A and B are shown apart, each in its own frame.
Chain A
Amino acid sequence: MLETGVDRDGGTVQDVNWTALIIFILLFGFITWLGFAAANWRKGDLDLLHEWGLGGRRFGTIVTWFLIGGDLYTAYTFIAVPALAFGAGAVAFFAVPYTIVAYPIFFLVFPRIWYVCHKHHYITAADFVRGRFGNRWLALAVTITGMVATMPYIALQLVGLQVVIGALGVSGTGVAADLPLIIAFVILAAFTYSSGLRAPASIAIVKDILIYTTAFAAVIVIPIELGGFGKIFAAVPAQKLLLATPGPNTTGAYSAYATLALGSALALFLYPHSLTGILSASSGRAVRRNAALLPGYSFMLGLLALVGFFALAVGVGSLPEYAAGFKQFGNNFAVPALFLHSFPSWFVGIAFAAIGIGALVPAAIMSIAAANLYTRNIHREFINRNPTDKQEAQMAKWVSLIVKFGALVFIIFVPTQYAIYLQLLGGIWIIQTLPAVLLGAYTRWFNDWALLVGWAVGIAFGTGMAAAVNLTPTYPLRLAGFTFPGYTALYTVILNILVTIVLTPVFNAVAAQRTPLDETVAADYYV
């Protein structure tokens, strides 16, 4: 967009910021050591899948809080939410109602799922669905949806890492351009392989301390530098300050905002990495406590969205020294540019390390979650029904490597925008497992085949609707002359539930003689 002479050798965002780079590397070195040392933390036999892939279900309330927080609030969140505020304004704040309504859902559903999974040694959502509804094909649908939705999410973590590495001034041409990213990923892959979930759990604590420090520094120091919130908001263009008031016969930006928040909240805990974090808790009580404690992160997310406005107020978009960065990374460069502009070099190193480490923690958990799914619900179910414990754990370790390698190749060779599109579709796909998993935690009234048809209808319509609006998140639903723009994922999961409800009595009537296959009983869902 903006052409300057800074981009003189085809890729240099700016000169290397040595102080920041050294602090960044030191902190990365520290978490690398920590990741490997974590193998001995709350020691267990890492040749067992639940030890490697769920940390032996040993984490108390506090570690679980760090782990789930580190898992859900990813590097991409820290870059993309402020970037959306920077580019589009008020609509970015949907992330706040999103997290506000996510935790009541968590509170109502996931302690139950923790209890039943603990009782029956389930380690994935597909394990639960298999046990609850006794249908391996429905479980396979949940498995594949989870894996496919997770892969682009891992790739997006790398985008966060790429942006901060670029902002540190590290660059090159050809293979050298991607070398820092490759090194970071090899480190990640190695400690995940050797330590399993214990690695991201221990690193999450460091990450959160760094992120909190950075967030509070940003919302205290920068407004003081800029002369207060009043001046910051005064610098934001009027049309970005609020949602556009809907015109006649449409609910406009209002319904888009609310459905994005609700749909995202419903999808959040269906992602495999969320459940991996939840199931690693040592007790159902720790899960319940976390539902009450996790909103601590929501406040920080709200503050971070405001950071996008700080960047607008500073006007980083028109400063020549950042033009090359914006050219390369788009609005995702807003936060790094703001930090470079506002903080001393040593603190830039800390802030960027926070974002970079913030990429590794979720990427590790996501790859473990995908590995657990493949190992348990595809390999064991369909390929080798009686693996030894050691074979099962070894398979998961290999799969975690393959998944991460796939994400790395994707991000190096495919345009970033494709990962963003796939991530968007992933949200639409993963929410289609809601009837089986989330509603399944409360009832097994649904017929298993009806659930599978509902899932397929949701996936098909969701994909089609998203394609019809050029892979943007909201679809303008037209009913009786009114237009209701809303999040495609929410619309299609409602369709999915309706189809399931209609087909359940039909399928039950067809197969009336079939005995229910639920291996869980009501008492499994409570203390």
Chain B
Amino acid sequence: MVEPIKKRSGWRWWYLLLLIQFAAVLWPPFYNKLEPYWAGMPFFYWYQLLWVIIGAALTAIVYFATED
């Protein structure tokens, strides 16, 4: 494989963005409640589904930011 001389460092500060989703979904006291409802769905459910989308967006941001 032809490789550029410049190597990816293997670690970028951008990766810290990925920690946000750990904090957001691994602390149930944040979201273990019914109110506010959205479209008839309790907070517990739509909050976590929303974080699927936010988490995917964060991962995409990190992907593009760390892409050479």
Interface residues of A (CB under 8 A from B): 90, 93, 96-97, 99-101, 103-104, 107-108, 112, 228-233, 241-243, 245, 253-254, 257-258, 261-262, 288-289, 291-292, 295-296, 298-299, 302-303, 306, 522-523, 525-527
Which residue in B29, B39, B62 is a CB contact (below 8 Å) of A107? B62
Chain B residues near A107: list those with CB within 8 A: 18, 59, 62-63
Chain B residues near A104: list those with CB within 8 A: 18-19, 21-22, 55, 59
A233 touches B56 (CB 8 A): no
A100 touches B28 (CB 8 A): no
State how many angstroms separate the Cβ of A291 from the closest Cβ of chain B.
6
State how many angstroms separate the Cβ of A41 from the closest Cβ of chain B.
24
Among B19, B40, B67, chain A packs the most CB atoms within 10 A around the CB of B40
Query: Which residue on B lies nearest to A228, using beta carbons?
Result: B40
Chain B residues near A522: list those with CB within 8 A: 10
Interface residues of B (CB under 8 A from A): 3-4, 7-8, 10, 15, 18-19, 21-22, 25-29, 32-34, 37, 39-42, 44-45, 48-49, 51-53, 55-56, 59-60, 62-63, 67-68
Chain B residues near A103: list those with CB within 8 A: 55-56, 59
State how many angstroms separate the Cβ of B38 from the closest Cβ of chain A.
9
Query: Which residue on A lies nearest to B38, using beta carbons?
Result: A229
Query: Which residue on A lies nearest to B28, using beta carbons?
Result: A254
A289 touches B63 (CB 8 A): yes
- The answer for the CA separation of A10 and B51 in the assembled complex, in Å, is 47
- The answer for the CA separation of A172 and B25 in the assembled complex, in Å, is 46
Nearest 4 A/B pairs, CB to CB: A230-B40, A229-B40, A295-B56, A97-B25
B28 touches A243 (CB 8 A): yes
A233 touches B40 (CB 8 A): yes
Interface of A is mostly: helix
Which residue in B3, B15, B25, B39 is a CB contact (below 8 Å) of A108? B15
Chain A residues near B60: list those with CB within 8 A: 292
Chain B residues near A99: list those with CB within 8 A: 52
Which residue in A230, A241, A299 is a CB contact (below 8 Å) of B49? A299
Chain B residues near A296: list those with CB within 8 A: 56
Query: Which residue on B lies nearest to A103, using beta carbons?
Result: B59
State how many angstroms separate the Cβ of B20 from the closest Cβ of chain A.
9
Query: Which residue on B lies nearest to A99, using beta carbons?
Result: B52
A299 touches B53 (CB 8 A): yes
Which residue in B8, B25, B33, B45 is a CB contact (below 8 Å) of A100? B25
A292 touches B59 (CB 8 A): yes
Chain B residues near A229: list those with CB within 8 A: 39-41
- The answer for the CA separation of A117 and B7 in the assembled complex, in Å, is 18
Q: List 6 A-B contacts (CB under 8 A).
A: A97-B26, A104-B19, A228-B40, A242-B34, A245-B32, A261-B26
Query: Which residue on B lies nearest to A241, using beta carbons?
Result: B42
A100 touches B15 (CB 8 A): no
Chain A residues near B25: list those with CB within 8 A: 96-97, 100-101, 261
